[in-house]
Structures are given as structure tokens and as C-alpha cells.
Amino acid sequence: MSLEKELIKKIDSRTKPLGSLGKLEKVALRIGLVQGTLTPELRKPAIIVFAADHGISEAGVSAYPGEVTKQMVINILNGGAAINVFTRQHGIALRVVDAGVAGLSAGLPGLIDARIAGGTKNMLNEPAMSLEECRRAMESGREMVRREAAGGCNIIGFGEMGIGNSSSASLLHHRYTGFPLSRCIGRGAGMSDEGLRHKKRILKIVNSKYSPGSPEEILATFGGFEIAMICGAVLEAKKQNMLIIADGYIVTSAFLAAHAMQPDIMDNTIFSHLSDET
């Protein structure tokens, strides 16, 4: 009997109507398959939040100014964000990484400094990152996961903070999936109707300016430092055979980049929820 059939038999043998736990049963099956055992165990869970600014925010594609990225990172470090509540309640280690936040002071308690630069370049004028910057960011993400794995972590989730990063995510979703760009663009952090129309106009211009070829070139052209770090982190988490939790639209764009480079990352991935844009 295959491991999958044995796991299903074990789940079905519990005192409950068949299938009554719904998606929880599918999650349990996935965990068992990833770990290759009938007795899976989740050890030392961690969530890494990567933060960076985006040059495209200069074009008015967000409801908030770029300075808000720094403010939100400080709020997370001070324990005032929703992610702090979730991680405290469930005993999950929380790491906060400066991937490239403009004006953020180094040495803040609890902040991991992996900054590439003080934000990406404005995609209206030039690619967001050079290939070298993108590769550095991906390697930094890999290193963060290696540290967690060395400490015994076998389940990891990724989050992000970055004003303007829904614009990068929209372009990445379009480029990696071929889905119409207009349908990949949402309100981000709550844009007005006019703001959304402006955002669509700007991103249409940006999209028409470039013709990157490889998945890595697409990521460098349209991505962000935090998105590239998450991409590298996902690839390393797969290498370490961790269970990987994907959180929201921006993080999903990093998973799409990782999937374009290594499709089997999906074998280890569980999506935590469905964002409005998704």
C-alpha cells in the first residue's frame, strides 16, 4: 500500500464521519506526504517577514506614501501588528528582515539586516533590480531558511511589507501566468476607484517597456528585494524538505517566480488564505 493510501486510511480511521474535517484532512495528508511518514510532526515553526521599498511607489500606485513601509516595520518590531498576535498565540518564531527599507535605522532590536539598497528603482524608468541585486536577494533569502533549518525548524511561512509591492506582484503574476494584466491588478492597500484606474495605466506602461526572458530576469525587472528574498527562501525551504506556508498575493508572486525556476516547490506548499486580488 502506498504512503498516501496509508495516510488516508489512518485519517479515515479516526472517530468522525468520513471527510467531516474537510480541508484539515487534506492538510494532514499533505504534511504526512511531505515528511514521508504516518506520524508527521511540526517542529519549531517560524514566519519570516521580509520588508522593502519600491521605486514604483513614486508613480502614485499606492494609497500610501513610501514612508509607511518603515513605520509598519517598526510597528511589527514593537509587537503592534496582526502577525505579532498570531505568532504569540501559536508559539511561532517571528523574524523581521530589512531587505531594502528606505530610511530604516540599522541595529533596531529584533531587526535582521539583509538590505540590498534603500528600495528598488522606479520601473517606469529602468528595471527594478539588476540581475546581480536579484541574485544577492535570493541568496539572502536562502540563508535565512538555512538558519531556521539548522535550529530544527521544519515548517516555515513567509510574509512581506512594502508600499508599492502589489504593483510588482501584479506584473509578476501576469508575466509568469499569462493572465491578462488588467485582471492581475487590485486595490492593494485600499485604493480609490480613480487610484485603481491610475495604477492600471501606469502598470500597462511599465509592462510594455520590457521583454525579459528567463524567470530570473522577469523577477529582476518587475520584482522587489523582499519578493526576491522570498523566492530564494522558498527554493531553499523545498531543498530542506520543509512544509511551506504561502501568505497572500505578494508572497504568492514570489512563489510563482520560484515555481518558474523549480516547479516541484508546490509539493511542499500550503496556501493559507485567498487574497482579494488572488
pLDDT digits (tens, 9 = 90+) for 164-209: 999 999 999 999 999 999 999 988 878 899 999 999 999 999 999 9
Confidence at residue 191, expressed as pLDDT on a 0 to 100 scale:
84
- Residue 78 binned pLDDT confidence (cut-offs 50, 70, 90): very high
The yes-or-no verdict on residue 278 having pLDDT over 70 is: no
Average pLDDT estimate for 201-225: 98
**For the whole model, what pTM was predicted?**
0.96
Specify the range with the lowest mean pLDDT, choosing from 8-17, 125-134, 225-234, 236-245.
Answer: 8-17
pLDDT in tens, 35-75: 999 999 999 999 999 999 999 999 999 988 999 999 999 99
Mean pLDDT of the chain: 95
Confidence at residue 259, expressed as pLDDT on a 0 to 100 scale:
98
Higher pLDDT, 187 or 2: 2
Confidence at residue 165, expressed as pLDDT on a 0 to 100 scale:
96
Average pLDDT estimate for 158-165: 96
Average pLDDT estimate for 235-244: 98
Higher pLDDT, 64 or 127: 127
- Residue 105 binned pLDDT confidence (cut-offs 50, 70, 90): confident
CA distance 167 to 195: 12
- Residue 265 binned pLDDT confidence (cut-offs 50, 70, 90): very high
Q: What percent of the chain has pLDDT over 70?
A: 99
